[in-house]
Amino acid sequence: MRIVIALDTHSYSEAIVSEAAKLAANTWADITMLGVQPSSSGDMPDTDLEKRLRQYRKSFLSRFNEGDNPYGGVKGAGKFTSQNGGFLLTGDDKENEFRKKLHVKIRVGDATKEILAEAREQECDLIIIGCTKGLDCQWQGEIDLPRKIAQKADYSVLVIKERKTTDTISCCLDQDQVSQSSLEMINQMVTLHQAELKIVGLTDSLKAGGKEGVENKMAEILKYYADLELNPWIKLVRLEDLEEYVAQASRQGMIALWMGKKSLLGKIFSRDLVGKLVNTSQSSVMILR
């Protein structure tokens, strides 16, 4: 698994470093900690952002015991060196000495574009980003940036708005087009949080042979989990009630929405509605792709 963590200098970013470290401790994922500065005046990165990223790296690594750390230690301060128009933290340690990659980078330019570009370059499986509480959902002072990332990314995106205990993960799946990677991402989240899994299927009387067709597909999902010795709650929700259900579930725990290109949900939830959900949610929202 490869994860890009988008980080700015605000306190919510500090909180998501902790969340990302927990996920990394379980999955031993390759990690890129990414900061973005709007412009560069030379060979040096923004001082405040550089300082914060160093702190985040240290905080991330502090989650690991010496013997359990696949990313190497906190040897030396390292230095940011220019790379492809941005900056990469390099140290004395040789990357190949460690089992997994922990890159700390600063890109220069428009934040949305640069975060998406980094995710693309890394061929990542997940982007993690925090934001302010409330409706405007700011990142680095830019309103709605996490919404834009969630809307535009080709990869799964986890928006952590407020750290809460995740007892339940409500996962709205399109039974027609469930990607293997989305199921695998959910499984890792369930394992991480030891959370109860709720699979929410749609009953759309106009598609897929009506309720019977939907139930057949839900049976396939149940079999998938039964084979894995998991027993999720299964819930069927009428199409017209789904938005309300999602809004409610997002207040109770993590909500995951499968929003691939072929997803029926992608048609039901317009891109604007995805953003609305991200903005109004009180906890974490994961957009699965």
Partner 1 sequence: MNNQQTSILILDDEPIVSKRLKPSLEKRGYEVETFTSSAAALKRTHERQFDIVITDLKMEGLDGMDFLTDVKEKSPSTEVIVITGFATMETAKESFQKGVFDFLAKPFKIGEISEVIKKAEQKLKQSS
Residues that bind partner 1 (CB under 8 A): 1-2, 25-30, 68, 70, 99, 123, 125, 180-182, 184-185, 187-188, 191, 227-228
Helix (H, G, I), strand (E, B) or coil at 233: strand
Q: Which is nearer to partner 1, 186 or 242 (CB)?
A: 186
For residue 224, the minimal CB distance to partner 1 (Å) is 8
Q: Which is nearer to partner 1, 132 or 188 (CB)?
A: 188
What is the chain's Cα-based Rg?
Answer: 20
In 3D space, the residue among 183, 181, 153, 140 whose CA is nearest the CA of residue 274 turns out to be 153
Q: Which is nearer to partner 1, 98 or 245 (CB)?
A: 98
Q: Which is nearer to partner 1, 26 or 82 (CB)?
A: 26
In 3D space, the residue among 200, 207, 263, 275 whose CA is nearest the CA of residue 236 turns out to be 200
For residue 98, the minimal CB distance to partner 1 (Å) is 12
For residue 64, the minimal CB distance to partner 1 (Å) is 9
Helix (H, G, I), strand (E, B) or coil at 245: helix
For residue 27, the minimal CB distance to partner 1 (Å) is 4
DSSP string, 104-142: EEEEES-HHHHHHHHHHHHT-SEEEEE--SSSS-EETTE
For residue 283, the minimal CB distance to partner 1 (Å) is 23
In 3D space, the residue among 121, 100, 128 whose CA is nearest the CA of residue 185 turns out to be 128
Number of other residues whose CB lies within 10 A of the CB of residue 198: 19
Q: Is the dihedral of CA 275, 278, 281, 282 positive or negative?
A: negative
Q: Which is nearer to partner 1, 25 or 234 (CB)?
A: 25
For residue 134, the minimal CB distance to partner 1 (Å) is 32
DSSP string, 20-43: HHHHHHHH--EEEEEEEES---SS
Q: Which is nearer to partner 1, 145 or 189 (CB)?
A: 189
149 neighbors 142 (Cβ within 8 angstroms): no
For residue 200, the minimal CB distance to partner 1 (Å) is 20
Q: Which is nearer to partner 1, 219 or 228 (CB)?
A: 228
For residue 133, the minimal CB distance to partner 1 (Å) is 30
In 3D space, the residue among 99, 91, 109 whose CA is nearest the CA of residue 54 turns out to be 91
In 3D space, the residue among 34, 50, 56, 46 whose CA is nearest the CA of residue 111 turns out to be 34
The maximal CA–CA distance of the chain, rounded, in angstroms, is 63
Q: Which is nearer to partner 1, 121 or 241 (CB)?
A: 121
